[in-house]
Amino acid sequence: MAYKLNYVEADDILNKLQNEYKIYAPTRKKDKGSFSDTDLITYGQVNSFAEIEFNEKTKYSPKDIVFPITQTLFYFNGDEYIEAEEDTDKVIVFLRPCEVNAFKRLDKIFLENGPEEDIYYKRLREKVKFAVIECTEGFDSCFCVSMGTNETDDYSIFLRISEDEVFCEVKDDSLTQVFVDQEEVEFTPEFIQENEVAVEVPALEDITTDLFESEIWKEYSKRCIGCGRCNMSCPTCSCWTMQDIAYKDNENLGERRRVWAGCHIDGYTEMAGGHDFRTNYGDRMRFKTMHKIYDFRKRFDIDMCVGCGRCEDVCPKYISFVGAIKKLNQAIKEGKADA
């Protein structure tokens, strides 16, 4: 079923949905940007249609809805533990097709990467429905078409936003009752077919082990500063570390938390005894690049990177992920020429 709404009707629908769901969407946080007098565009809970920012790319992705920055897993008391209570809120998140595809990558990591599903992820993920915002032009640095993440059919609602109208396709029967009074129309979702940025991801068989030793990674040892901004803004980076927090008054009492971590950040590969096996920033860039376009594909048959371009947008040293893939392609070509 598809409907045409004006903005007042769209706001009314959003209000009705809030009776059952928390609504998350791209939103503008005034004066919260990295530089003075700039706004931060990021995902957050919204209470009205007017709060949704439809025209700018967010700095961060919506992954923290299912993978919170800090998440208490359980509380301990000597030999006993109590699992942290489940968050029971149901969520609808307004997002773009690449983000839905990013959730699919997170699903692979948390639900299909071993014999056990991650229950802390699963119980949040099961409560999330997608409202996809049509994206036919993309933003600077997006390369979703190259990564094959420009389209999706996994959504409950699909929206096309024009200056004074909203077209909605509703696929989820449990949501149709809030649209009953609306005018039905014919509507076919569209997806972006070409980005300004494009890159060819090398075939698995072309990525040979000698490329792990290639000179191309050395440049990043000088340029990268290991700030980890790329990891934090990436919708598919899903590494964490564990922290046991003992309460001050009794060290047997406390809680275990998982907290975001990132492969570019100092200490990420530090092991017991102090041994650290990836201290060099170039090695970290190689690890991230290969994980996003090689290891993950070998395991799950899809690339981990969804081509959102955020890692490039936020890097203080202007390091481009597309640039890294292009250098890799060049090294492959030169290797073939030398053979």
The pattern of x and - marking residues 222 through 261 that bind ligand SF4 according to CB under 6 A reads --xxxxxxx--xxxx-------------------------
Residue owning tokens 């597309």: 322
Residue from 108, 297, 310, 327 touching ligand SF4 (CB under 6 A): that is: 310
Residues β-bridged to residue 168:
3, 159
Q: How far is the CB of 101 from ligand SF4 (least distance, A)?
A: 9
Cβ distance to ligand SF4 smaller for residue 3 or 220: 220
140 contacts 192 by C-beta, under 8 angstroms: no
Strands 240-247 and 250-260: antiparallel
Q: How far is the CB of 174 from ligand SF4 (least distance, A)?
A: 31
What 3-state class would DSSP assign to 37? coil
State phi, psi for 66 to the nearest 5 degrees: -110, -15
Q: Dihedral, CA atoms, 196, 133, 173, 306, nearest 10 degrees?
A: 40
Under the binding rule (CB under 6 A), the answer on residue 311 touching ligand SF4 is yes
Under the binding rule (CB under 6 A), the answer on residue 33 touching ligand SF4 is no
What 3-state class would DSSP assign to 249? coil
Cβ distance to ligand SF4 smaller for residue 13 or 144: 144
CA 336 – CA 206 distance, rounded (Å): 9
Of 21-29, 51-59, 220-228, 324-332: span binding ligand SF4 (CB under 6 A): 220-228
Q: How far is the CB of 333 from ligand SF4 (least distance, A)?
A: 22
Q: How far is the CB of 296 from ligand SF4 (least distance, A)?
A: 11
And the tokens for 154?
């996994």
Q: Which of residues 262-281 bind ligand SF4 (CB under 6 A)?
A: 264
Q: Which residues contact 40 (CB under 8 A, 6 or more apart)?
A: 28, 29, 32, 33, 34, 59
Cβ distance to ligand SF4 smaller for residue 23 or 304: 304
Q: How far is the CB of 306 from ligand SF4 (least distance, A)?
A: 5
- Give the interface with ligand SF4 as residue ranges (CB under 6 A): 224-230, 233-236, 264, 292, 305-311, 315-317, 319, 321
